[in-house]
Amino acid sequence: MNVLGLIGSPREHGNTATLVNAILEGAAEKGAETKVYQLSKMDLKPCRGCMSCRSEGKCVIDDDMQELYKELLSADALVIGSPIYMWEVTTHTKTFIDRLIALTCWQPCAKPEFVSPLKGTTKIVLAYTYGSPNPNNFNQYFKYMEGLFSYLGFHVQGSIWASGTVNPDDISHQFEVLENAKEIGKKL
């Protein structure tokens, strides 16, 4: 099994990276091969809305997303981690998500239909960190994101989050969250 981890935080070794890596560690303990990318270190351009993916069968933007498409299509599971900024995932994470439009139609399409090559076979776990101490502050947003990825053809395994993570190592004191993250990884 191949598990791909994407970290959408600009903090390279912050709370989000720790959370994603705990999930990957759990998966690795069960024999999975894992690979992780720091989205903020990649050249990811925003979707232009050109819809060339509909006529060309692929995204025509030449950037690091081309590598991520290949990784994603060969992965059995995906872990996306992002801190919450202003009630949303970071711009790095959102750019990645927007570019997934190219996966909705790999064959040239005459009409706008969402057809995903994933067909519910690629598992996904969504991991979030945020500064508010309220552990239920963004539940509605997390459900929305699960719905989005389900619509895109992913087999959503759920979400995990760590609240009260302001300083880069605050999550290291949240032993239960990190243990739950490892267990989620093992179940992948």
pLDDT class of 153 with cuts at 50, 70, 90 = confident
Q: What is the pLDDT of residues 80-118, one digit of tens each?
A: 999 999 999 999 999 999 999 888 755 455 555 555 666
| DSSP result, the chain | -EEEEEE--S-TTSHHHHHHHHHHHHHHHTT-EEEEEEGGGS--PPP----HHHHHSS----STHHHHHHHHHH-SEEEEEEEEETTEE-HHHHHHHHHGGGGG-SS--SS-----SSTT-SEEEEEEE-S-S-TTTTHHHHHHHHHHHHHTT-EEEEEEEE-S--STTGGGG-HHHHHHHHHHHHH-
Q: Which superfamily, per CATH, for 2-187?
A: Flavodoxin domain (3.40.50.360)
- Distance of alpha carbon 86 from alpha carbon 43, whole angstroms: 23
Q: What is the pLDDT of residues 155-181, one digit of tens each?
A: 999 999 999 999 999 999 999 999 999
> Could you tell me the two tokens for 113?
């239909």
Give which of 113, 130, 96 is closest to 6, Cα–Cα. 96
Kindly provide the b/e burial profile for residues 35-58, where b requires at least 16 CB atoms within 10 angstroms of the residue's own CB. eebbbbebebeebeeeeebbeeee
pTM summary value: 0.93
